[in-house]
């Protein structure tokens, strides 16, 4: 067992420790085991500990005939918006919004409640009723949160996307769910550039004929102004009432419309924020996200803890690579949420906030979106902050939450996610469908249902797509598509998506195992490895993007192969290394290995509309035409 990078101090006051003591259990492992063996009791206790407002009922968990049909709180009634607005004091700050150009606004809890009441009344006046779909094509700003809360108070279903989605990609998503109302961006800023969205609004309206009303962000205040003073009204709803529709990245076909229970997503997030992250009322929480990523929904749920949420819309490294750390210092954040890619980029840029910034308020740094490499763990503790709880989280849009996250009573080990979330029966299965041994690589799975499992997919007859997406790997077990291993510490190591996992001469290799070595080379901006069917077997091709002004020589190529052979294994050495001008990625900044895998194997790319830079595929298409 390696030496911990961080050890918690006094943990007796944590929610995890209190729950453990109440149940007379001796360790987090015992508590986790109890939580998954007694799902009804655990989620009922979580409801109480998170101070959920509503009628909890008496049927906390009904197993059902399978994973999908199992139900939580089948006789409960509550309203998500009521819960998210109930904790803060009128004069305290609920939301801070920061734009790339530095524009900063604050909204108090009193102002938030008043504006949500007015939004609810305005929506009702426009004919919005329970069960309608309302959508938003918007930057990450306060108006988007208010709009969503107004809809949730009625029982409408909310779906959001960021304004860098082109009208065709918006149609691919929102067009499937026939929304009634659209909140639209007038403009947004990114990386020092101004983008005018107004010409695209009419195009979106023409592509989605179900829309009966569009409100631009610039018109939002005047739209709700006649209704200011309207009382807050919350429609009591069943626990399984749809609250959100989230979309898969679309890299494996047309985006899946994943229907989530609003209450299920809220309870899951609230449970993580309390037990795994120890986030309290009045603390400031920031997560760098767009409205097109489930982390926006997750961040919004932090209002239910009474926390202040800090929004940022723009490029995280503009005008300087330290921009996000400037925000952390200026806002005195308690919780700083980043992506693994951002941490890696900050490392490469040579950013050392420990020497340049006062981050004394920051108690937790979180990372998600892709695998956080062991080198990035070291970078956080060496160059950002020594005494901080580093939480590498893993979950997804599919569950609007995490399978793996922080454990505030446990040490942090280099390269490891600390543990499975309470209530999540997370395991690693080998090819035989058995629980894998320690350090044996296999599929990340979940064997017991949880409240934020999807209600279903939109227009999915007999749950055919739902079943095909998660339950084809092992019967009755959620298979998430991540390649992972359990550690002797109780933690987990992730190696990348299993559907992008390389097969090198019959041996499965996680892509992150290659990237962590290759991206340490000063010449390499980023890298992507894919498998190509070749002469009756497979071969691994590594594409690298070279930093401006630097060259890629035969010596560099040899050094990369040697490093992979020595630092990983001979199996990790690619058969071919090629320099590419750019690599395709999603709008949430994830590399899309599947798109390149399709091209190199002569297949049609599955849904290039989901890409932030579809032009990156042109070079690959020309190469393999």
| 463 and 530 both lie in a single domain | no
Say which CATH number the domain at 544 has: 3.30.300.30
pLDDT at residue 605, as a whole number: 83
Q: What is the pLDDT of residue 252?
A: 47
Across residues 375-403, what is the average pLDDT? 96
Q: At what angle do helices 28-37 and 39-49 cross, to 10 degrees?
A: 110
CB 352, CB 377: distance < 8 Å: no
Instruction: Give yes or no for a contact between 122 and 151, defined as CB atoms under 8 angstroms apart.
Output: no
Confidence grade of residue 534 (pLDDT, cut at 50, 70, 90):
confident
pLDDT, average across residues 280-303: 96
Do the domain assignments include residue 333? yes
DSSP letter for 625, please.
-
Whole-angstrom distance, CA of residue 411 vs CA of residue 491: 10
Same domain as 605, residue 519: yes
In terms of domains, do 172 and 296 share one?
yes
Averaged pLDDT, 490-494: 96
Verify that 462 and 507 share a domain, yes or no: no
Question: Is 484 within 8 Å of 495 (Cβ atoms)?
Answer: yes
Could you tell me if 542 and 462 lie in one domain?
Answer: no
Tokens found for residue 521: 């080379």
Instruction: Please give the helix or strand (H or E) that residue 135 lies within, else none.
Output: strand 133-137
Mean pLDDT is lowest, of 239-253, 350-364, 538-552, for 239-253
pLDDT score recorded for residue 588: 77
Q: What count of other Cβ atoms lies within 10 Å of the Cβ of residue 56? A: 18
Calculate mean pLDDT across residues 530-552. 89
How far is CA 518 from each of CA 293, 352, 369, 441, 525, rounded to the nearest angstrom? 28, 22, 20, 21, 10
Domain that holds residue 505: 501-623
Whether 229 and 302 share a structural domain = yes
- CA torsion, points 404, 407, 412, 413, in degrees to nearest 10? -40
Do the domain assignments include residue 5?
A: no
254 pLDDT band, cuts 50/70/90, is: low
The reported pLDDT for the residue numbered 607 is: 67
Return phi, psi of residue 57, to 5°.
Answer: 70, -165
- Mean pLDDT score across all residues of the chain: 94
Assign 251 a pLDDT band (cuts: 50, 70, 90). Answer: very low
pLDDT, position 501? 67
Q: What is the band of 498 on the pLDDT scale with cuts at 50, 70, 90?
A: confident
Stated pTM of the model? 0.90
CATH number of the domain at 73, please. 3.40.50.12780
Beta strands in 191-315 (DSSP E): 193-196, 213-216, 237-238, 242-247, 257-261, 284-287, 308-313
**Predicted confidence (pLDDT) per residue in 142-186, tens digit:** 999 999 999 999 999 999 999 988 888 889 889 999 999 999 999
Question: What local confidence, expressed as pLDDT, does residue 543 receive?
Answer: 97
Domain boundary among 419, 444, 467: 467
């Amino acid at each position: 067992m390696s030496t911990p990078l961080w050890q918690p101090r006094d943990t007796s006051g944590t929610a995890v420790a209190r729950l453990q003591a109440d149940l007379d259990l001796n360790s987090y492992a015992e508590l986790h085991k109890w939580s998954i063996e007694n799902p009804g009791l655990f989620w009922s206790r979580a409801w109480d500990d998170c101070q959920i407002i509503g009628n909890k009922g008496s049927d906390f968990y009904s197993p059902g005939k399978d994973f999908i049909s199992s139900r939580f709180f089948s006789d409960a009634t509550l309203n998500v918006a009521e819960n998210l607005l109930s904790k803060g004091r009128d004069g305290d700050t609920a939301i801070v919004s920061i734009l790339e150009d530095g524009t900063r606004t604050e909204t108090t809890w009193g102002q938030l409640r008043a504006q949500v009441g007015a939004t609810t009344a305005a929506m009702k006046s426009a004919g919005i009723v329970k069960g309608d779909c309302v959508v938003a094509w918007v930057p990450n700003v306060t108006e988007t949160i208010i709009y969503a809360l107004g809809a949730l108070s009625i029982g409408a279903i909310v779906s959001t996307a960021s304004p860098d989605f082109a009208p065709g990609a918006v149609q691919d998503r929102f067009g499937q769910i026939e929304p009634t109302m659209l909140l639209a961006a007038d403009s947004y800023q990114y990386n020092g550039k101004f983008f005018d969205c107004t010409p695209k609004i009419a195009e979106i309206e023409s592509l989605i004929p179900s829309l009966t009303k569009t409100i631009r962000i610039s018109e939002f205040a005047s739209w709700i102004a006649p209704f200011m003073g309207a009382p807050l009204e919350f429609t009591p709803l069943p626990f399984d009432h749809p609250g959100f529709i989230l979309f898969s990245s679309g890299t494996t076909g047309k985006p899946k419309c994943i229907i989530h229970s609003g209450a299920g997503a809220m309870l899951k997030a609230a449970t993580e924020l309390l037990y795994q992250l120890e986030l309290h009322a009045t603390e400031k929480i920031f997560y760098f996200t767009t409205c097109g990523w489930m982390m926006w929904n997750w961040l919004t749920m932090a209002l239910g803890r009474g926390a202040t949420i800090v929004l940022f819309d723009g490029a995280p490294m503009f005008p300087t690579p330290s921009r996000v750390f400037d925000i952390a210092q200026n806002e005195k954040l308690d919780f700083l949420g980043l992506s693994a890619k951002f941490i890696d980029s900050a490392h490469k840029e040579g950013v050392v906030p420990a020497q340049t910034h006062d981050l004394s308020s920051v108690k937790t740094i979180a990372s998600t979106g892709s695998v956080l490499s062991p080198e990035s763990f070291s970078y956080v503790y060496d160059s950002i902050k020594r005494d901080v709880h580093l939480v590498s989280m893993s979950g997804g849009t599919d569950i609007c939450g995490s399978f793996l996250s922080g454990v505030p009573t446990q040490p942090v080990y280099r390269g490891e996610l600390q543990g499975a979330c309470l209530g999540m029966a997370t395991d690693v299965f080998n090819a035989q469908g058995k629980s894998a041994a320690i350090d044996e690589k296999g599929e990340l799975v979940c064997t017991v249902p949880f409240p934020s499992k999807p209600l279903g997919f939109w227009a999915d007859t007999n749950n055919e797509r739902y079943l095909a997406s998660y339950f084809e790997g092992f019967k009755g077990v959620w298979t998430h598509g991540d390649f992972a291993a359990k550690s002797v510490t109780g933690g987990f190591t992730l190696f990348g998506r299993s559907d992008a996992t390389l097969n090198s001469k019959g041996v499965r290799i996680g892509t992150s195992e290659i990237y962590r070595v290759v991206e340490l080379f000063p010449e390499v901006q980023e890298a992507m490895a894919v498998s190509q069917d070749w002469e009756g077997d497979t071969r691994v091709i590594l594409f690298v993007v070279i930093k401006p002004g630097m060259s890629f020589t035969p010596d560099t190529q040899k050094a990369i192969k040697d490093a992979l052979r020595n630092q990983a294994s001979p199996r990790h050495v690619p058969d071919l290394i090629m320099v590419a001008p750019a690599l395709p990625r999603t709008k949430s900044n994830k590399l899309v290995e599947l798109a390149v895998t399709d091209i190199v194997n002569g297949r049609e790319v599955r849904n290039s509309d989901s890409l932030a830079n579809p032009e990156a595929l042109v070079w690959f298409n020309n190469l393999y035409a």
